[in-house]
Amino acid sequence: MMECSWKVLLLMVFTSLGIQYTAIKSFRMTPAPPCSNMAAENRCGHIKDNIRRALCEDVNSQRSKKHILILATSRSGSSFLGQLFNQNSDIFYLFEPLHTVWNLFIKSNDQDTIDKRSLVGAYRDLLHNLYDCDFYALENYIKPVPEDHVAPSLFRSGASNALCSPPVCNQSQRMDERECLNKCKRVNLTLASTACRYKHMAIKTIRIPDINNLRALAEDPRLNLKIIHLVRDPRAVLASRIATFSDYRPFQIWNSSGKKPQKVDMELIGNTCIDYSTSVETGFSRPPWLKGKYMLVRYEDIAMDPVKKANEIYNFVGLEWKKSLSMWIEQNTKNVTTYYNKFTTKRDSSKTAENWRLHLNFNIVQAVQQICNKTLSQLGYRVVDSVQQLNNLPQSLVEPRMFLPFV
C-alpha cells in the first residue's frame, strides 16, 4: 500500500505535464486505488462522470502497462520467446506488425532506392501507435485502404492469441494459427484497439536493425518500454536461414559442395553481426535512456533452461509469473514430435540448440567466424579451429555468461 501511494503521487506529477489541473484535482479526490493487477476498468467503475472515468481508466491502465519489445533477427528463435507473452492472457501480443510497413515499401520502391531512415522512422511511429492501442495506424500501410476500419487480413494475425479470441474475434475455443486465419481473417481494428487498452502489449519484430533506432520510444515518458534483445550464435542463425530462405541459395551450394561460389553475399550474415554488436555495445555502455529497459537474452540460454530464463524475463519486465506458462513451456520444449515445421517451437530445445554444428560446412563456419569474430566474443560464443571441434557436440560452444538486465 505504501509503495502504491508514492506511485500514485509520481503519477500525478507525471500526469500534470499533460493534463489540466482540474483533471488532476479529481484524481486527488479519488481515494488511492488498490495496487493490484485488477483491470483499470474495475478500479474506475464507480466514477459516474464519463470524462473523468475515461481519464481515470487511461491513467490507471497506463501506469502499470508494460510495452514489451522483442528485438530479434530472423531465425534467432524469437517465435518461442514471443509465445512466452502470447500465452499470457494479460498481454496483447503482436507478431511482426511491421511487416505491413516493410511490404508496402518493398512493393512501391526499388530495393536499392528505399530510404532506410524513413523506413525505420515509419516502423518506430507504427510501434508507438500500436503501444498506444491505435490500430488504425495500420491502415496507412494497407492497400486498398480498409473500409469501416476492418482490415481484410493482417500479416500472421493467427499467431496472436489476442486477435484470435474475443472481443476481436468471436471464437471461444483455442485455435492454432491456421485455424484462426480461417475463422478470424478479417480484423476489426476498432475492436482490436479497445481490447488492447487494458492489457500489456508485447510486440515481436525482426525489422528494427539495432537498439539505437528505438531511442525515441525508450525516452518517451508515456511508454514503459521493456526491450528484450534476443541474440543467437550467428553460425546457427546462418544455418537456419540456409535451410529456410531462397535468397541463401548460394550458401546452400557452398554448404553441400564445400566450394565457395563466386557470388556469395556475406553481408547477409555480416550485417546481422554488426547489428548485434551495435546493440550490445549500446546496452553494455548503460546509457541513461536505456535504464530499466534493456535485457540481453541468448537463445541458447533459453533453450538450456526455458522456465528459468522465462522467469528472469518476467522479473525484468515486472510481470507476475503464471503457472499455465510453466505448463505451456513444459509441453513445447520437451516434446520431440514427428511433425517438423521450420517455424514451430515444438522441439526438444536443449538438445537442438547446437545441432547446427552437424549441418554447416566447416568452410562456412570459418568464414562466419572471420567476419563475426568480434560479435562472437562479445556474446560468449567459442570459435572452432577444426571439423572435429565443430562436430564434438558434448563440448558446448556457448560460454556460460551472465548478462544482467540493466535495471
Ligand X SMILES: *[C@@H]1O[C@H](CO)[C@@H](O)[C@H](O)[C@H]1NC(C)=O
Stretch that binds ligand X, among 18-26, 126-134, 204-212, 235-243 (CB under 6 A): 235-243
Q: Please tell me whether residue 239 binds ligand X under the rule CB under 6 A.
A: yes
Closest contact distance (angstroms) between CB of 296 and ligand X is 18
Closest contact distance (angstroms) between CB of 229 and ligand X is 20
Q: Are 128 and 69 in contact (CB under 8 A)?
A: no
Q: Please tell me whether residue 377 binds ligand X under the rule CB under 6 A.
A: yes
Contact string 286-325 vs ligand X (x = CB under 6 A): ----------------------------------------
Nearer to ligand X, 66 or 357 (CB): 357
Q: Please tell me whether residue 242 binds ligand X under the rule CB under 6 A.
A: yes
Q: Please tell me whether residue 256 binds ligand X under the rule CB under 6 A.
A: yes
Closest contact distance (angstroms) between CB of 105 and ligand X is 28
Residue among 281, 396, 313 at smallest CA distance from 350: 396
Q: Please tell me whether residue 153 binds ligand X under the rule CB under 6 A.
A: no
Please give the residues from 332 up to 351 whose contact with ligand X meets the rule CB under 6 A. Answer: 335, 337
Contact string 28-67 vs ligand X (x = CB under 6 A): ----------------------------------------
Which residues are paired to 239 by β-bridges?
none
Stretch that binds ligand X, among 198-206, 221-229, 236-244, 267-275 (CB under 6 A): 236-244
Torsion angles phi and psi, residue 152, rounded to 5: -60, -30
Closest contact distance (angstroms) between CB of 220 and ligand X is 28
Contact string 159-188 vs ligand X (x = CB under 6 A): -----------x-----------------x
Q: Which residues of the chain form contacts with ligand X (CB under 6 A)?
A: 148, 150, 170, 188, 190-191, 239, 242-243, 252, 255-256, 331, 335, 337, 359, 361, 373-374, 377
